[in-house]
Amino acid sequence: MTSEVVENEFEFYSKAEKYWKDVPATVDGMLGGYGHISSIDINSSKKFLQRFLRDGPNRTGTTRALDCGAGIGRITKRLLLPLFKTVDMVDVTEDFLTKAKSYLGEEGRRVRNYFCCGLQDFSPEPNSYDVIWIQWVIGHLTDNHLSDFLKRCRAGLRPNGIVVIKDNMAQEGVIMDDVDSSVCRDLDVVRKIIRRAGLHLLAEERQENFPDEIYHVYTFAMR
């Protein structure tokens, strides 16, 4: 649990904010020097997401998506804008959102809102989103804040909407990274937090073809 590794909550958040302020507003910056895996990541995410967007009585809509921890908009540009009519972005680093406006190009006109805010303080507009995508950012929230944020995400979904988490998973327990002030949880801890938020897991998948030296990455869909 994060309570065992996060000694000072205020410091945990402020140190992370400071870390990201110094990161270059590039795809390589967003991916910690692993910019070359971006296409593998996006293609897998697209396949995962499209199974919920296909025809059927419980089909997830394609009107509006929310990109959480959006950075410069890598996922917004390559995954969400091609599939959804409009997208909102939320990130704690103002410079990244400023950069996004040029990085997204013409299609960026369909980004309705750029919210500059930490997810621990952010509330998605109720009943508004078909998909809330949360990638490589849950490690910057304590367990309680993550659970509370997921509850607010649940309220932000439209009928048949889904919340998706894609993130690094530790082999066991919770591991602190002092460099960017984040934690990495194991699968069991993440599943418990999802349940605690009142969400039901619909699908879970391990990312393939990533470099061996990085954490295993898993994608979860829930509602």
Which residue numbers belong to the known binding site? 69, 74, 91-93, 119-120, 135
Sign of the CA dihedral running 70, 72, 74, 78: positive
Dump strand ranges (E) for 73-199.
Answer: 86-91, 111-116, 129-135, 157-169, 174-177, 182-185
The distance in angstroms from the start CA to the end CA of the chain is 23
Q: What angle do CA 113, 68, 174 make, to 5 degrees?
A: 160
3-state DSSP percent of the chain in helix, strand and coil, to 5:
40, 25, 30
Residues 6+ apart with CB under 8 A from 54: none
Strand 201-206 with 216-222, pairing: antiparallel
Spatial separation of the C-alpha atoms in residues 33 and 47, rounded to whole Å: 24
Which residues carry a binding-site annotation for S-adenosyl-L-methionine? 69, 74, 91-93, 119-120, 135
Spatial separation of the C-alpha atoms in residues 44 and 40, rounded to whole Å: 6
